[in-house]
A and B are shown apart, each in its own frame.
Chain A
Amino acid sequence: MKARIIERRQLCPEIYLYKIEAPHVAERFRPGQFVIIQTHEKGERIPLTVAEAQPEKGIISLVFQVVGKSTLHLSLLQKGQYLENCVGPLGNPSEIRRFGRVVCVGGGTGIACLWPILKALKAVGNEVLTIIGARTAERLILVEEIRQASSQVFITTDDGSQGEKGLVTDVLARWINSPAGASSPAIDRVIAIGPAPMMKKVAEVTRPQRIKTIVSLNTIMVDGTGMCGSCRVFLGQTMKLACIDGPEFDAHRVNFDDVISRLEMFRQKEKLALETYRRQLAAQREGLAPKELHPKRLSSD
């Protein structure tokens, strides 16, 4: 089913937010879920974060970072053009309950994934402390939205261009390891979404104190419905499928080294596809390539 792009916004140099028309996804979406899209007929099926759903308008917001050919192609589509396919919502929703004090840790596009979760957590009465980070101030996304949805926000950047200089996990470690007192009641739950190495680090920081920690795993996926097993992850010896058992798992049981290793499985081919596509784009810009690179889809109206 085709899905029309009705708004296209660049959040930072490599991250975009698209609003697309997908009424049945919008109607069913709950925080923590995702969609799988295909940008054109010959495209890959890739999972993407849903940052927001507006069921009354039949619209969902997708946030993605340009990392390979598929996301580069997506970033070149314009308002009014269509995604070839969009299926969702997929995966299980986050557990939304009153836990007490929840710390949400986000990095990269993970921040977009956290946004609806922390809104929901706050709405049921949790104190939501959020730590978001990026390499530089320029690359931080949705800061205002996150600020409004959280009880308190802490920002870190690798170069100190905004907030504290350092990593999100530095702040988290400081909170956890500071002596408990009246001013710092215990943390009831941590939710971390971001690059796998970041989530691994969060798990290490919270493990000694046994603070319940949830991560959302962004594995490679194809169908997203439990048919292929490409998204398999290991919790101890037990195999789980991120698409239908997750995407959220208990961080202290996830074998992150496997997650990180398996994410690299197709890296070489992905690089090749991206380079080839970039060359084609450059050739096209110079008017050297008469052929269309991918079927152009213009708005129907």
Chain B
Amino acid sequence: MIKIGGRRVPMRELSPEERIKNFSSVPLGYTEAEAVREAQRCLQCRGVPCEVYCPIHLRVLDMIRAIAARRFQEAFFIIQADNPLPAITGRVCPQESQCEGVCPLAQDGRGLNIGKLEAFVADWARARGLREKLQIKERPQRVAVIGSGPAGLICAYDLRRWGYQVVVFEALHKAGGVLQYGIPAFRLPTEVVDYEISYLQEIGVEFRLNFFVGQNIPFAELRRDFAAIFIGTGAGAPLFLGIEGENLKGVYSANEFLIRVNLMKAYRFLEYDTPIICGRRVGVIGAGNVAMDAARCARRLGAEEVYILYRRTRKESPARDEEIQHALEEGIIWMELVAPRRFLGDEKGWCRGVELVRMRLGEPDSSGRPRPLPIEGSEFVLELETVIEALGTTPNRLFLKQAPELAVNRWGLIQVDDNLQTNLPGVFAGGDAIRGNATVILALGDGRKAAAAIHRQLSEAER
């Protein structure tokens, strides 16, 4: 008999030595027996804190119960009814600060592995081609969704289920947003993303790829041709430090580095045509998920020394625990309390290093985290051939420029009311486009909420 509580069923993973040679998924996933054992540890709390602290309040407890009873199909339909992308959220949600963090078992570090259980049921269903059979009652109204990241995908899914004619416009040649171009395959395999998107196509969502709304098709035209619009354009424009040496060859934004690697598959160069140049010594500026992803990609591209250069400390890092853990196992070197002053180059214009200044932590700033302060005179040089700036991103100004009638705040985030409606009637927005750098699950929550609001508005208009 398994004692209730007990130890977390360990997740089998590729060994660090193996991992850094390829882009295969690091966690190998639970087997049926492992999943059942893990699910049986659940204490079945009355207050279901895991559901309360889930940003979209998924029915975690029912799913766990079904898994514990080996009713995997039922578990899948329970979770899928509220979340069309469980294979994705199970892998990328910051569970430690949501469901798993509030699990009573987490008190002594043995919290239920809810994320991996969610991914397990989704993978189990995918392996069997199991999908919800929808009876769609067609409605004539057309709804446009701009952007195919998680916010846009879930919004399209919900609206289509309710019978709307949904067209998703995506600027890139592949749908998925950050899931496709940002998060690397060793964390979120490309086939998982493609599978989820193919489901939307199957139920009749139309994807128009290679369309940047505003630039390739006027926003006004969409407003004229569609009964409602959802804007899920994300926050995909990279920030740069604005210091000396950013013109050097070998200095990338994390976005460029990750787009080349993930979307364009530069790690399979020669089979794929897009090149990437990654030196032996690489420095990544920043310590969020994006920084970890870039660092781990660099390691897999053959870099021998990869540094995380962070101006605060590990405690303040916004990255998922699992990501930091994996990065450290893979030999990433964590250098904290340092900030770049300038990049140094050789006479041919290639990056050769970075001048860093040591930092100390001061009083908390507006983000609640201690403000890093430079220690004057502590500058030193770290030799690097490649620098990746992972400083966060902002909304794309090209779209905002082409849709000036849309109200935004001073950070370029689209302003919305409680129903996620913008200042323009019938135009809704959600995800990173209204929040800045947030999370997949919050984007899903927004897309879903906006879909419901659009549905209310359009069905009222019908009456």
Contact = CB atoms under 8 A, between A and B. Distances in A.
Interface stretch (B30-38, B256-264, B298-306, B324-332): B256-264
B358 interface: no
Contacts of A268: 277
A69 B273 contact: yes
Contacts of B265: 42
A42 B273 contact: yes
Contacts of B260: 222
A228 B398 contact: no
A38 B396 contact: no
Main secondary structure of the interface of A (DSSP, over half): mixed
Interface string A262-275: 10111011101100
Given A24-B217, A265-B277, A266-B275, A87 B171 contact: yes
A28 interface: yes
A70 B273 contact: yes
A19 interface: no
Nearest to B246: A239
Interface in B246-270: 246-247, 249-250, 252-253, 255-256, 259-260, 264-265, 269-270
B349 interface: yes
B273 A239 contact: no
B255 A229 contact: yes
B interface, size bucket: 35 or more
A28 B218 CA distance: 9
B442 to A, nearest CB: 21
Most-contacted residue by chain A among B212, B255, B259, B275 (CB, 10 A):
B275
Contacts of A24: 211, 216-217
A85 B397 contact: no
A230 B256 contact: yes
Main secondary structure of the interface of B (DSSP, over half): loop
A272 B266 CA distance: 14
A261 interface: yes
Interface string B224-242: 0000000000001110101
A62 B458 CA distance: 43
B372 to A, nearest CB: 24
A51 to B, nearest CB: 19
A226 B398 contact: yes
A114 to B, nearest CB: 22
B271 interface: yes
A226 B239 CA distance: 11
A28 B216 CA distance: 7
Contacts of B264: 44-45, 222
Given A222-B260, A227-B238, A228-B259, A90 B215 contact: yes
A189 B253 CA distance: 35
A119 B253 CA distance: 38
B210 interface: yes
A128 interface: no
Closest 6 pairs (CB-CB, A-B)? A269-B275, A261-B349, A228-B256, A87-B210, A229-B253, A258-B247
25 contacts: A1-B210, A24-B216, A24-B217, A25-B216, A44-B273, A45-B173, A85-B209, A222-B256, A222-B260, A222-B274, A223-B259, A225-B171, A225-B398, A227-B237, A227-B259, A227-B396, A228-B255, A230-B252, A232-B247, A257-B349, A262-B247, A262-B249, A265-B249, A273-B269, A273-B273
Interface of B: 171-173, 208-212, 215-217, 236-238, 240, 242, 246-247, 249-250, 252-253, 255-256, 259-260, 264-265, 269-277, 348-349, 396-398
